[in-house]
């Protein structure tokens, strides 16, 4: 496990975009600072883990996502990816990365696709994931018009404080929490996410009934999240079917 964590640390050090300071020392302004919080608890096997990571990677290679990310006032967003399971088991496996063009989107997608499973399987602490993600946003250094935590998972919170308490703390800090419920294990998980996980301005939840359909769901979700971050009708085409 220490070897896996070391690989993740080396990957983070090699990636661009980890620093949020411009050359003059001022924070980098972005339209959206987005934390992707990915469930790697015991209910997620290796195949399901890879489907999630590949789904995110493919989404960031999609021209519609790139267009949406580069149409806002600042013409760029900042993204990081977190894996989570137990209350104290979260890891930032892809550092903050600015997406402002197709090349940067490819860099981000490659990093996500190569990222190892860096968190040991364990319980499902959605609240721990939200709290950790909120701290990353607070410490990112980016000056973001919107700050969003994107939580995906396939189970109920079973460790740590109630997820609604973590959500309320995040929304009180001006953060929006969105959800992607994978209902293959818990059929009513989408309702649970709506009642206990999502919150803040423009918050929404998307549901999918299997990990096989995760890539389709996350593309739809990312387009909506990014479009919400950018003003004007010009984004209608980016989000159109």
How confident is the model over 111-128, as pLDDT tens digits?
999 999 999 999 999 999
- Name the band, by pLDDT with cuts 50, 70 and 90, for residue 172: very high
| C-alpha count within 13 angstroms, C-beta hemisphere, residue 55 | 24
Sequence-ordered list of residues with C-beta below 8 angstroms from that of 91, at least 6 positions apart, any chain:
5, 8, 82, 83, 84, 118, 119
Q: How does the average pLDDT of the chain come out, rounded?
A: 87
pLDDT of residue 25: 63
For residue 60, the model assigns a pLDDT of 97
Residue 160: is its pLDDT beyond 50? yes
Band of residue 212 on the pLDDT scale cut at 50, 70, 90: very high
pLDDT at 16: 44
Spatial separation of the C-alpha atoms in residues 217 and 231, rounded to whole Å:
23
8, pLDDT greater than 80 = no
204 phi, psi to nearest 5 deg: -155, 165
Mean pLDDT along residues 138-143 = 95
pLDDT of residue 228: 73
Q: Both tokens of residue 38?
A: 């990915």
What is the pTM (predicted TM-score) of this model?
0.86
Given a contact cutoff of 8 angstroms between Cβ atoms, the answer to whether 18 and 178 are in contact is: no
78-to-21, 34, 122, 140, 226 alpha-carbon distances in Å? 12, 6, 29, 9, 11
| Cβ atoms within 10 Å of 63's Cβ, excluding its own | 10
Q: How far apart are CA 118 and CA 184, in angstroms?
A: 24
Assigned fold of 2-16+40-235: Rossmann fold (3.40.50)
Percent of the chain whose pLDDT exceeds 90: 82
199 near 176, Cβ under 8 Å? yes
Helix (H) or strand (E) segment spanning residue 53 = helix 46-61
Dist. CA 82–CA 151, nearest whole Å: 10
């Amino acid at each position: 496990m220490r070897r896996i964590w070391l690989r993740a640390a080396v990957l983070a050090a090699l990636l661009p975009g980890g620093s949020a300071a411009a050359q003059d020392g001022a924070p980098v302004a972005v339209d959206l600072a987005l934390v992707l919080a990915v469930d790697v608890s015991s209910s997620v096997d290796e195949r399901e883990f890879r489907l999630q990571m590949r789904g995110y990677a493919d989404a960031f290679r999609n021209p519609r996502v790139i267009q949406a990310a580069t149409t806002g006032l600042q013409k760029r967003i900042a993204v990081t990816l977190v894996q989570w399971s137990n209350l104290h088991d979260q890891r930032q496996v892809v550092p903050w990365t600015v997406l402002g063009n197709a090349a940067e989107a490819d860099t981000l997608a490659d990093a996500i696709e190569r990222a190892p499973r860096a968190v040991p399987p364990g319980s499902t602490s959605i609240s721990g994931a939200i709290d950790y993600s909120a701290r990353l946003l607070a410490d990112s250094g980016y000056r973001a018009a919107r700050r969003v935590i994107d939580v995906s998972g396939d189970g109920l919170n079973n460790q740590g404080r109630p997820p609604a308490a973590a959500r309320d703390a995040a929304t009180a800090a001006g953060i929006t929490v969105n959800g992607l419920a994978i209902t293959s294990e818990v059929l009513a998980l989408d309702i649970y996410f709506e009642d206990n996980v999502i919150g803040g301005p423009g918050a929404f939840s998307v549901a999918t009934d299997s990990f096989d359909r995760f890539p389709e769901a996350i593309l739809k979700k990312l387009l909506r999240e990014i479009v919400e971050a950018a003003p004007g009708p010009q984004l209608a085409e980016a989000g159109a079917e």
